Amino acid sequence: MNSHRKQLVALAHPVYFGLLASVAAGIINTVWVSRLGGPAVAAVAVATNTENVLLGVALVFGSGTTVLVAHARGARDPGGVRAAVRGGVALWALVTPVVAVGGFLLREPLARLVLDGGPAVSLATAYLAISLPGIAVFFAQQLVDGILKGAGDTRTPMRLALLANGLILVCDPFLIQVYGVQGAAASTVLCRGVALGVGLLALRRNRLLRPCTRTPAGVPVRRTLSTGLPMAVDFTVRQGGALVLVAIVARLGVTAVAAYSIAYKVMYVATMAFYAVRQAASIHTAHLRGAGQDARRAVGREAVLVSGVVGLAAAVLLLATAPWIMAAFGSGPEVAHDGVLFLRCIGPYLLLTACFIALGGVFEGSGGAPVLLRVTLLGTGVQLALAYGCAGLGLPGVCLAMASAMALQCGVVLVLFRRARVGVQEEAGASWAGASV
């Protein structure tokens, strides 16, 4: 096996299983909460979606620190590693109180903004009263994961995810039964807190991350912010585009929305693998850059190959098993029909998305995240415009719009990838080196 491919697979598969553990725990948590009634499910859904949006904030210091630590590790620069860690911690300390305190104070208006009224509002407010202050633990967990991944350790974050979500599955039934939706929120925060404690111990035991040369705090913070912010905005743009796309699908009726929602959740099993490869490509590229190696093209080819194979396999699997998948969700015949149609038409989009997301990791790891963000903005705008225009064709028209927009993004990013020059690489390398001084 190609050495780059082997390294990508080694880094990616623990990330993937960690993501799967989180999704599985979320589904089971919803099952337990559903016993409290529809308003409780709606309340938890609002809180979960709020956390997904706030994940974009966490990427500023989480992903930014990952790239900077990986680069310094490749350069064998312990001072640079320490600077990257201190920058991430300082940025976390600046951002977290604003989000946690501000969210707590605005918990009721936030619940009313999403929900129309009724008991779901009070339940959502009660849940957010615990989950939003607890976002400090979630953010810290993301930072610890980011540091460990930058150090080349993706297995420990996977174990931490398994620990946290495993504890949630054990604690949820008891706390939900006793305290209702607030019990679900408390269970999540407490179990994440346990995993965070274990993660901090893992950081202390990592020899690469032991204290070393002190560096000015201002420079690492600015570097972390400039590195992580484009990644965070990219994620937020994609999340926002997905929400608008749901609104466009809603023009087709409730049946189409239900089918689309189920099918999209099924697709997570594949798309999470793409993002796992993306993280691996980002870490590996940054590490090689720190070591003075311009291996972007080789890493990019292997990342596209690994992710593309997964995307192709997923497309074929969905094509063949779509009826059984929809039947497993117990949806009615009309929803099942639309869902099967969507899953059988989404294959080209999945394959193109696999390639684009994987190649994006090379851009992020080489300091090209701002360029990638512009491509994402272009693609999201085109996707929504095409989806609006093709909505008359039903869900196949939406699939066509998604695939066309993704083909455009792939084409643009491939051109940019091929035009990469050694001079640009050397200039970026000088910038990295200057940031560590």
Give whole-number Cα distances, 293 to 86, 271, 276, 290, 420, in Å.
26, 29, 23, 7, 14
Question: Do 64 and 38 have their domain in common?
Answer: yes
The reply to whether 211 and 301 lie within a common domain is no
CB 68 within 8 A of CB 84: yes
Q: Which residue has the tokens 């590790």?
A: 73
Q: Give the distance from CA 150 to its chain's centroid.
A: 16
Per-residue pLDDT, 420 = 64
| Per-residue model confidence (pLDDT) at position 259 | 81
Instruction: Say if 334 falls within a structural domain.
Output: yes
Q: Average per-residue pLDDT in the chain?
A: 84
Q: What is the DSSP string of 321-377?
A: HHHHHHHHTT--HHHHHHHHHHHHH-HHHHHHHHHHHHHHHHHHHTT-HHHHHHHHH
Q: Is residue 177 part of a domain?
A: yes
Residue 244 structure tokens: 């608008």
Helix or strand (DSSP H, E) at 176:
helix 155-179
User: Is the pLDDT reported for residue 426 higher than 70?
Assistant: no
Residues in the chain: 437
Distance, in Å, from the CA atom of 304 to the CA atom of 235, rounded to the nearest integer, reads: 20
Give yes or no: residues 184 and 251 share one domain. Answer: no
How many domains are there within the chain? 2
Q: What is the pLDDT of residues 176-224, one digit of tens each?
A: 888 888 888 899 899 999 999 999 998 888 776 665 444 444 557 888 8
Is residue 422 over pLDDT 70?
no
Same domain, 211 and 232: no
- Residue 219: the pLDDT is 54
Decide which of 215, 236, 252 is a domain's last residue: 215
Q: How far is residue 69's CA from residue 83's CA, in Å, rounded to a whole number?
A: 9
Alpha-carbon distance 110 to 125, whole Å? 8
What domain range includes position 314?
227-437
Structural tokens at position 266: 């099924």
Higher pLDDT, 202 or 419: 202
Do 283 and 348 lie in one domain? The reply is: yes
Q: What is the pLDDT of residue 203?
A: 87
Tell me what percent of the residues of the chain surpass a pLDDT of 90: 35
- Do 193 and 258 fall within a single domain? no
User: Which pLDDT score, from 0 to 100, does residue 313 have?
Assistant: 94
Question: Looking at the structure, do residues 180 and 259 belong to the same domain, yes or no?
Answer: no
Element (H or E) spanning 2, and its range? none
Please state, in angstroms and rounded to a whole number, the distance separating the CA atoms of residues 111 and 88. Answer: 31
Summarize pLDDT for 56-90 with one digit per residue, the tens. 888 888 899 999 999 988 888 888 888 888 899 99
From 194, 215, 236, the end of a domain falls on: 215
Does residue 2 lie in a domain region? yes
| Residues 181, 33 contacting (CB under 8 angstroms) | yes
Distance CA 112, CA 123 (A): 11
Residue 221 lies in a domain: no
The verdict on 40 and 149 lying in the same domain is yes
In a domain, residue 152? The reply is: yes
Query: Does 273 lie in the same domain as 158?
Result: no
In a domain, 79, yes or no: yes
Query: Does 38 lie in the same domain as 73?
Result: yes
In a domain, 222, yes or no: no
Is 411 within a domain?
A: yes
| 172 shares its domain with 256 | no
Top pLDDT among 35 and 431 is at 35
314-356 pLDDT, tens digit each: 999 999 998 888 887 765 788 888 888 989 999 999 999 999 9
Phi-psi region of 331 (alpha: psi -120 to 50; beta: other; left: phi over 0): beta
Same domain, 321 and 201: no
Domain endpoint, select from 173, 193, 215: 215
